[in-house]
Each structure stands twice: as C-alpha cells, then as structure tokens.
Amino acid sequence: EAQVTQNPRYLITVTGKKLTVTCSQNMNHEYMSWYRQDPGLGLRQIYYSMNVEVTDKGDVPEGYKVSRKEKRNFPLILESPSPNQTSLYFCASSSDRGVPEAFFGQGTRLTVV
Amino acid sequence: AQRVTQPEKLLSVFKGAPVELKCNYSYSGSPELFWYVQYSRQRLQLLLRHISRESIKGFTADLNKGETSFHLKKPFAQEEDSAMYYCALSDYNTDKLIFGTGTRLQVFP
C-alpha cells in the first residue's frame, strides 16, 4: 500500500530537549516536505527536499532542521524545541517536481512544555 | 506575492443544501490550483485539481482567471462532507505548495 508514515503520532516534550520526527514513504517519490498546521494559519511549509541531499527552506524554517540521506526518509529535527513549536506536523511526498504533494502522512501532534 | 485566501473559517449548512467554499488566489503566471480535504482525525487528501476538470464526491471547482478564484461547489451537501477544506496553489517558481488557511465545513442533518 502506498503511504507516507510519520512517527511518533503524539509527542510531549520539554523545552530544549532535542527530538526527531521521522517520515518515510514507499512510493519512490523525489519530492518531500514538512508542514505545520496551526489554527487560523492553515498549513505552512517548513522545509522541502527535491531529491537526496537536496533540501531547502520553506516559509517557516526557523528552529527546524531536516536531512535527506535516502530517498525514502525525510526526518524533521528540532534541536532545541520551544513552546511555540507546539503544533500538528505533516510530512508529504510527491513524484513530480512542482506538482503538489498528493500523499500526506497521518500527522504528528507535538506539545512542547 | 503568491497568496491563497479562504475568507470563511467556518461554513455551516444543512444536508441537501448547496455548498460553495470560496478560494481566491494571487499569482503572477498560470496557476495550478487544488483542493485538499481533511476529515476528522485523518490525513490531508487531494480532493481535486483544476487541470483534471473532474468531479470528485460530487464536488467541482472551476478556475476563473478573471476573478482569480477557484471556488469549490457541491449542489447537495451530505453529512459525510463535514471536514476541513484547504485550497492550495502550486508555485512553479519556488516549487512550493501554498495553502489557504482552510474552511471548516459542517453539514447538519
């Protein structure tokens, strides 16, 4: 089954404690990205990657890092989480550059206290 | 600047009533526009894209370049249509997908 898998689904952490949210897709897609979803703000892109070892900032990259060492994986790293990063995060992938993501992960709800 | 505007945060209708979720965009060039839907506790799914000109689950959307709009319509709403709907624009210059802030559709029985 074609899918995008994020882990964990729920995470509560404390300010400053490094964390990683994993994202994996099994569709051999080149394009992957991370979004955060906040009430009243919709979805905002954090980072995206057009292929292995190619990443670029989205609209709200501050406080986040990503890596793309393999085509299937695109982890989101928060080196020093802060409460304003409490949000619902979505990973997504697509097979065509410039074509919007057709497949989203199930979301990771992060709470930073 | 490229932008997608969904003016309504919430749209409530009764079952069987027509639905129109508004989407306006700002884009210099030929846009590619989409509607995504997010049902409760589920992931976002692509509902439809303007280039395919198809009807999905009874929904249609027509790109109106003169009015820079891409409104989502359904003649008779169903309770299972209750969800969050996002309009999105593909920016080929930056390879970004720009989302609107979303409209929550509530369909009452």
Dist. CA B98–CA A58, nearest whole Å: 10
Residue A50 near chain B (CB below 8 Å): yes
pLDDT at B50: 79
Residues of A in contact with B92 (CB under 8 A): 98
In Å, how far are A30, A69, A79, B14, B102 from A23, measured between CA atoms?
A: 14, 12, 17, 39, 24
pLDDT digits (tens, 9 = 90+) for A30-70: 889 999 999 888 889 999 998 899 999 988 999 999 999 99
pLDDT in tens, B35-92: 999 998 888 988 988 777 778 899 999 889 899 999 999 999 999 999 999 999 887 7
Q: CB–CB of A81/A13 below 8 Å?
A: yes
User: What is the model's pLDDT at position B30?
Assistant: 77
Q: What pLDDT sits at residue B92?
A: 72
Closest-CA residue of chain B to A102: B46
Burial A89-104 (b: 16+ CB within 10 A, else e): bbbbbbeeebbbbbbb
Q: Do A48 and B44 touch (CB under 8 A)?
A: no
Q: In the numeric block, which tokens belong to residue B79?
A: 């309770």
Contact B95 A48 (CB under 8 A): yes
Structure letter (DSSP) for residue B30: -
Closest-approach residue (CA) in chain B for A36: B99
Which residue in the set A35, A50, A99 is minimally distant from B90, CB to CB? A99
The conformation of residue A98, written as its DSSP 8-state character, comes to T
